[in-house]
Amino acid sequence: MSDFRRIDDAGDLTGKTALVRVDFNVPMADGKVSDDTRLRSALPTVEALRAKGAKVVLLAHFGRPKGQIVPEMSLKPIAAAFADVLDAPVHFAENCGFGPKAKAFVTSRAPRDVILMENTRFEAGEEKNDPALAEAMSALGDLFVNDAFSAAHRAHASTEGVTHFIPAYAGKAMETELDALEKALGTPERPVMAVVGGAKVSTKIDLLKNLVSKVDMLAIGGGMANTFLAAKGVDVGKSLCEHDLADTALTIMKNAEESGCEILLPLDVAVSTEFKAHAPDHRVCKVGEVSADEMILDAGPHTVTVLTEAMDKAKTLVWNGPLGAFELEPFDTATVAAARAAAERTKAGKLIAVAGGGDTVAALNHAGVAADFTFVSTAGGAFLEWMEGKPLPGVEALKA
C-alpha cells in the first residue's frame, strides 16, 4: 500500500483546482451537525492544498437518496458547519449539478477558495460509476484527491470514475490510514496477533479465511466464538451460535493449523439465562460447563489472561469486534480488560495496535483507550474489506 501518490507528489498547484472526495456523511440533529469529527479530519488535506495555491472543490455524499434529490439530505447545512471548522468561507454549489453551471460556479471562485458541491448521490450515475458523470465531475478540477477511505471500497463516480480523467492522489487522512494499514498487515512487525469478535461467523468468513494466512495468532471472541466451540463439540447451551457453519469453522481451524496460525478460543466464559445488564444469575464457568438454559455473553478472566500473554509475544495487533456483549454490564468486562492491556503495551512502545469497525470503535471508546491505540479506523466497511484482503477500488486508483 505504500506505493500510492500523495499530495506532496503534486508539486506547486498555483492556479489549479483540486477536486477532493471527503467523508461528510456526518450525524445530524435538528438540522445541525452533532459531531464534526469527520469535518475536522478533512482539514489537513484542505489546508495543504490551499497552501499549495489550489482552489478546493469538495465532493461528498450524505445519506442514501438513491439518485433522487431529497431536500433533507442536502449538504447545505454541512457547508456552514465546515466553514466554522475551517474558519473560512465555504461556497455551496446549490442546484448546480455537474455540468456547465457547476463549471461556471467553480471558475468564478478565487484561488484558495473552498467550494462544496451538492450531495453526489443526488446524481443517478454516482453509485453506478457512470463514465459520463465521472467525466463531468473531473471537468471541475485539474487533479483529484481522495480523502475518504470510508468510501474507498465502492467504485463510484466520485471515488474511482474520476481517476480515469485526471491525476489522482491520496489526501492526508487517506495517507494516514493507508500507512497504518500497511504497518498492520502489509509489511508488519512479527509476530502479528489479530482479535476478531462480533456476533456471527457468517458476516466474517472472508475475513477469518484471510487472517489465518496472514497472522501468527488469531483470537476469536463474541458470538462467533460459540460457533467454533460448538464445532469442536463443546455444548454452548442456548448461546447465539450458527450450528450450520460448523464445517466452515472446522475448515478455518484446519487452514490455520496448516498456515502456522494459532487459534485462541475462550477457555472460560461469563454466562446467564437472560440477555440483560446485571442479570442476577450471571456467573463465570469453564467452556464445557455451560448449562442448557444458559447463554455465553462474554469471555472469562482466564481467557483474558491468555490473550494478554499473547499480546506480550506480539509486535503487531489488529483488532476488529468486541469479545462479548459489551453494551451490557458486566458482559463488557473481557473487552474492556483486553483493550486496556493492548493500550498499555502500545503506550509502552511494545505493540503496534490498529483497530477498526463500528462496534470496535464503540468498544474502545467504552474502555476509554481509543486514543491510546496506534491507529483506530472509523471506516467500517472499507476497513473490513481491507482486512479480508480485497482490493479497494478507491485505493487501487491511487497507486503510483
pLDDT bin (cut points 50, 70, 90) of residue 124 is very high
pLDDT for residue 278 is more than 90: yes
For residue 284, the SS3 value is strand
How high is the pLDDT of residue 144?
98
The DSSP symbol for 340 reads H
pLDDT at position 272 is 98
Which element (helix H / strand E) includes 285?
strand 283-286
Q: What is the DSSP track for 193-214? A: EEEE-SS-GGGSHHHHHHHTTT
* Short-list 62, 60, 84, CA closest to 74: 62
The structure's pTM equals: 0.88
Contacts of residue 85, defined as CB under 8 A and 6 or more positions apart, other chains included, come to 36, 39, 40, 43
Cα three-residue angle 381-39-119, rounded to 5 degrees: 70
Return the percentage of the chain with pLDDT > 70, whole number.
100
Q: Are 180 and 377 a contacting pair, CB within 8 Å?
A: yes
Q: What is the mean pLDDT of the chain?
A: 95
Residue 1 has pLDDT above 60, yes or no: no
C-alpha distances in Å from residue 266, one per residue of 58, 223, 246, 301:
47, 11, 17, 10
214-226 per-position pLDDT tens digit:
999 999 999 999 9
Catalytically annotated residues: 38, 200, 358, 381
Cell 469497525, residue? Answer: 357
Write the pLDDT tens digit of every residue in 174-188. 999 999 999 998 899
Q: Are 141 and 13 in contact (CB under 8 A)?
A: no
Backbone φ and ψ for 145, nearest 5 degrees, come out as -125, 120
Give the CA dihedral 279, 285, 287, 290, nearest 10 degrees. Answer: -60
Note the pLDDT of residue 2: 59
Q: Is the pLDDT assigned to residue 346 strictly greater than 60?
A: yes
Q: Which residue has the cell 500473554?
A: 309
- Which pLDDT value is given to residue 258? 97
The pLDDT tens digits for 21-30 are 999 999 999 9
